[in-house]
């Protein structure tokens, strides 16, 4: 079939607009964008849209190689550099978005993470403009407004069936191709800029040669395209079967010395691995006798609401670390990292209470907490010494998601706490406990609950982050929830005095780095999703800024005060937690 010229394609698109009955101006705008992305008219109605694009770029402050493969809505997106590697994908048969991190750990993406991954990839690949996407009714697409540039159109795109993440796509007035996409996810707005659009596959398809992702803090990731090719329909898009395992995470056997640096570097035969690397070492083969042994972790006392534990890095005492479910990874003080001569690479911007904090990565050979051993751990370099009060030693780091993701963490209530870290599956026989379903957003656990006060939140479940590192309150509601749920009027009398408190968090520099001003209030009760688990007489904070707002689905966080009053079992591999007592 002879190829159409650009002028012929434009004429065909205009004729289509004149003859087709459009429901709204949105369809006119979309038809022009579709004609620009698929210049050949016979390609626009193709049933299977497949391709593979690849190139180089910069991600997390490092040079990377990347490849994106797609077949209609399914995709696999890989990003690899010498230090870190991430792979994500969408398996339509299971309706599952998944991600594998640099340690080989694979998990299902929930809520904000799921929606953002689908929207960003479908827009980047061009699937959002295909007939297949339209016929399957995957997206809710509407024309919002004209952009700041003359003639620029802005299209709002979100998932159907109550999608909350909205991607605003800016279309060029001349080419009708996307120039940028703005999307709020996990508390901040990211901007995806597309430049240097080029035709591929004999003029059938147009793809942006350069994609830049600019964070709200100014961080920039760049992906430069090197090539494109069509691919045959395959089963490559099936999600991985292996879950909640990593070759780098294991449990040390009882006859190992927890603090013995001679065992810290390479002897994998002395550990019960969570992974399927060896069937004799897998968690499924651990005997009841082994499981009944002690899995205690040394706890360091402090006067604040934090839980402090003592890990060992490369066989050496690293000082007190905060055990923090609200931390998406591991954090280490620069002075300790330098003393241990840990390698430095890349950069990442971490969300604090009121700002983003720029950090370098540091890598160790091994991290040990109790009998949990993590090989080649990656830390974010940050000063957290100002967060905890009443500790005789300088607090030097944070133990976050890396320790929770493949084990079971059991924390007792009260000042004289005990912390135990068990192998995955340790509480599988305790199905009758009041387990609460967990949803992971940005590697932080969230649960559902309803709460007292005027409004439908007494019956309607809301989503809360579980943040054991946030002290000073039982619950904190972020500013967006305070406004949309009218919580100030629901929980405080009209003439009641508004007492305030300022919550401070990490800054990366040893100072408080500002904070979020909150109004003090009380709740009669909060009741969690399953089995009537309820906590009464709560001290809460109502924020009036953007701090604490890390999920479009969430309304706030359950904090250390509640968590310290209960025995809490964090069974993240089974996506559940339990509050006992």
- Sequence length of the chain is 581
Backbone angles phi, psi at 336, to 5 degrees: -70, -40
Query: With 80 as the cut, is the pLDDT of residue 12 above it?
Result: no
* pLDDT value of position 139: 96
* pLDDT value of position 292: 42
* pLDDT value of position 42: 63
Closest CA to 382 of 509, 275, 564: 509
- Summarize pLDDT for 24-35 with one digit per residue, the tens: 788 889 999 999
Give percent of the chain with pLDDT exceeding 70: 85
Measured between alpha carbons, how far is 25 from 35 in angstroms, rounded to an integer?
16
- Summarize pLDDT for 494-503 with one digit per residue, the tens: 788 888 887 7
Query: With 90 as the cut, is the pLDDT of residue 316 above it?
Result: yes
Look at phi and psi of residue 580 and say left if phi exceeds 0, alpha if psi is from -120 to 50, else beta.
beta
In sequence order, which ranges of 53-130 are alpha helices (DSSP H)?
Answer: 111-125
* pLDDT value of position 46: 64
Tell me which residue has tokens 């897998």. 282
Query: With 80 as the cut, is the pLDDT of residue 509 above it?
Result: no
**3-state DSSP call for residue 17?**
helix
Mean pLDDT of 179-200: 91
Query: With 70 as the cut, is the pLDDT of residue 256 above it?
Result: no
**Where is average pLDDT lowest: 233-242, 422-431, 465-474, 519-528?**
233-242
**3-state DSSP call for residue 339?**
helix
Q: How many Cβ atoms sit within 10 Å of the Cβ of residue 14?
A: 13
Query: With 50 as the cut, is the pLDDT of residue 264 above it?
Result: no
In sequence order, which ranges of 405-503 are alpha helices (DSSP H)?
Answer: 479-484, 487-491
Tell me which residue has tokens 């009027």. 489
* pLDDT value of position 303: 87
Measured between alpha carbons, how far is 522 from 536 in angstroms, rounded to an integer?
10
**Residue 71 to residues 46, 51, 237, 371, 378, Cα–Cα distance (Å):** 12, 7, 8, 44, 34
Residue 439: HSE in the Cβ half-sphere, 13 Å Cα cutoff: 18
Task: Name, of 31-45, 534-548, 567-581, the range with top average pLDDT.
Answer: 567-581
Mean pLDDT of 201-212: 88
Look at phi and psi of residue 174 and say left if phi exceeds 0, alpha if psi is from -120 to 50, else beta.
alpha
Measured between alpha carbons, how far is 351 from 358 in angstroms, rounded to an integer?
9
pTM of the model: 0.87
| Average pLDDT score over the chain | 84
Q: Which residue has the higher pLDDT, 63 or 11?
A: 63
- Summarize pLDDT for 207-248 with one digit per residue, the tens: 999 999 998 777 899 999 999 988 876 667 888 887 777 888
Question: Residue-wise over 489-516: b if at least 16 C-beta within 10 A, else e?
Answer: ebbbeeeeeeeeeebbbbbbeeebbbbb
Confidence of residue 273 (pLDDT cuts 50, 70, 90): very low
**Where is average pLDDT lowest: 127-136, 268-277, 326-335?**
268-277
Is residue 185 within 8 A of residue 554, CB to CB? The reply is: no
Query: With 90 as the cut, is the pLDDT of residue 40 above it?
Result: no
Q: Which residue has the higher pLDDT, 233 or 437?
A: 437
Mean pLDDT of 560-581: 94
**Alpha-carbon torsion (441, 444, 447, 451), positive or negative:** negative
Query: With 60 as the cut, is the pLDDT of residue 4 above it?
Result: no
**Residue 8 to residues 11, 15, 346, Cα–Cα distance (Å):** 5, 10, 48
Residue 466: HSE in the Cβ half-sphere, 13 Å Cα cutoff: 30
Quote the DSSP letter at residue 223: E
Measured between alpha carbons, how far is 114 from 373 in angstroms, rounded to an integer?
30
Q: Which residue has the higher pLDDT, 482 or 202?
A: 482
Confidence of residue 255 (pLDDT cuts 50, 70, 90): low
Confidence of residue 281 (pLDDT cuts 50, 70, 90): very low
Planar angle of CA 43, 48, 50, nearest 5 degrees: 90
- Summarize pLDDT for 403-412 with one digit per residue, the tens: 999 999 999 9
Residue 34: HSE in the Cβ half-sphere, 13 Å Cα cutoff: 25
Strand ranges across the sheet with 312-313: 271-273, 249-252, 372-375, 366-369, 312-313, 316-317
Planar angle of CA 215, 157, 440, nearest 5 degrees: 60
Mean pLDDT of 281-289: 39
Contact residues for 92 (Cβ-Cβ < 8 A; gap 6+):
72, 73, 74, 237
Contact residues for 363 (Cβ-Cβ < 8 A; gap 6+):
83, 342, 343, 345, 376, 377, 378, 379
Measured between alpha carbons, how far is 550 from 188 in angstroms, rounded to an integer?
8
Burial class from Cβ neighbours inside 10 Å (0-12, 13-18, 19+) for residue 259 reads middle
Closest CA to 477 of 528, 545, 524: 545
Helix (H) and strand (E) counts for the chain?
10, 41
* pLDDT value of position 260: 43
Tell me which residue has tokens 């080649």. 376
Query: With 60 as the cut, is the pLDDT of residue 581 above it?
Result: yes
- Summarize pLDDT for 118-145 with one digit per residue, the tens: 999 999 999 999 989 999 999 999 887 8
**3-state DSSP call for residue 207?**
strand
* pLDDT value of position 234: 62
Measured between alpha carbons, how far is 34 from 51 in angstroms, rounded to an integer?
17
**Where is average pLDDT lowest: 56-60, 139-143, 286-290, 307-311?**
286-290
């Amino acid at each position: 079939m002879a190829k159409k010229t650009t002028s012929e394609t434009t004429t065909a698109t205009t004729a289509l607009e004149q003859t087709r009955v459009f429901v709204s101006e949105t369809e006119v705008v979309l038809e022009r964008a579709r004609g620009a992305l698929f210049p050949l008219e016979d390609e626009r109605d193709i049933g299977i849209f497949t391709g593979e694009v690849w190139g180089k770029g910069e991600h997390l402050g490092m040079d990377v190689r990347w490849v994106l493969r797609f077949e209609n809505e399914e995709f696999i997106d890989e990003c690899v550099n010498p230090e870190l590697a991430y792979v994500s994908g969408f398996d339509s048969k299971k309706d599952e978005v998944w991600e594998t991190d640099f340690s080989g750990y694979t998990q299902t993406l929930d809520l904000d993470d799921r929606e953002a991954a689908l929207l960003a990839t479908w827009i980047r690949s061009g699937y959002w403009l295909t007939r297949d996407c339209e016929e399957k009714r995957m997206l809710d697409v509407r024309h919002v407004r004209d952009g700041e540039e003359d003639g620029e159109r802005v299209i709002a795109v979100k998932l159907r069936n109550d999608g909350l993440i909205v991607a605003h796509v800016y279309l060029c007035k001349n080419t009708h191709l996307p120039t940028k996409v703005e999307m709020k996810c996990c508390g901040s707005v990211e901007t995806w800029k597309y430049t240097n659009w080029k035709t591929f596959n004999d003029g059938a398809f147009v793809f942006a040669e350069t994609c830049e992702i600019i964070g709200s803090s100014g961080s920039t990731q760049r992906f430069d395209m090197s090539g494109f090719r069509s691919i045959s329909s395959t089963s490559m898009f099936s999600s991985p079967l292996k879950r909640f395992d990593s070759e780098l995470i294991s449990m040390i056997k009882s006859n190992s010395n927890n603090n013995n640096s001679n065992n810290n570097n390479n002897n994998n035969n002395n550990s019960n691995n969570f992974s399927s690397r060896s069937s004799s070492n897998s968690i499924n083969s651990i005997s009841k006798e082994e499981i009944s042994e002690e899995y205690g972790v040394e706890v360091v006392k402090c006067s604040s609401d934090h839980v402090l534990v003592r890990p060992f890095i490369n066989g050496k005492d690293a000082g007190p670390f905060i055990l923090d479910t609200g931390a998406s990874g591991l954090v280490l003080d620069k002075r300790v990292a330098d003393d241990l001569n840990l390698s430095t690479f890349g950069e990442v911007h971490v969300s604090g209470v009121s700002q983003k904090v720029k950090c370098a990565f540091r890598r160790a050979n091994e991290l040990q907490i109790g009998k949990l051993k993590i090989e080649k751990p990656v830390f974010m370099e940050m000063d957290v010494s100002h967060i905890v009060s009443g500790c005789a030693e300088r607090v030097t780091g944070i133990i976050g998601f890396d320790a929770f993701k493949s084990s079971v963490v059991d924390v007792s209530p009260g000042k004289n706490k005990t912390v135990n870290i068990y192998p995955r599956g340790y509480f599988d026989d305790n199905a009758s406990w009041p387990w609460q379903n967990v949803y992971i957003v940005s590697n932080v656990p969230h649960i559902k609950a309803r709460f007292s006060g005027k409004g439908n939140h007494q019956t309607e479940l809301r989503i809360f982050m579980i943040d054991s590192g946030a002290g000073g309150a039982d619950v904190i509601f972020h500013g967006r929830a305070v406004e949309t749920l009218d919580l100030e009027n629901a929980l405080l009398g009209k003439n009641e005095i508004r007492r305030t408190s300022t919550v401070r968090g990490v800054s990366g520099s040893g100072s408080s780095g500002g904070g979020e001003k909150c109004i003090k209030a009380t709740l009669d009760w909060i009741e969690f999703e399953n089995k009537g688990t309820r906590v009464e007489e709560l001290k809460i904070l109502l924020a009036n800024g953007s701090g604490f707002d890390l999920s479009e689905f969430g309304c706030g966080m359950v904090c250390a005060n509640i968590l310290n009053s209960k025995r809490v079992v964090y069974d993240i591999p089974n996506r559940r937690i339990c509050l006992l007592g």
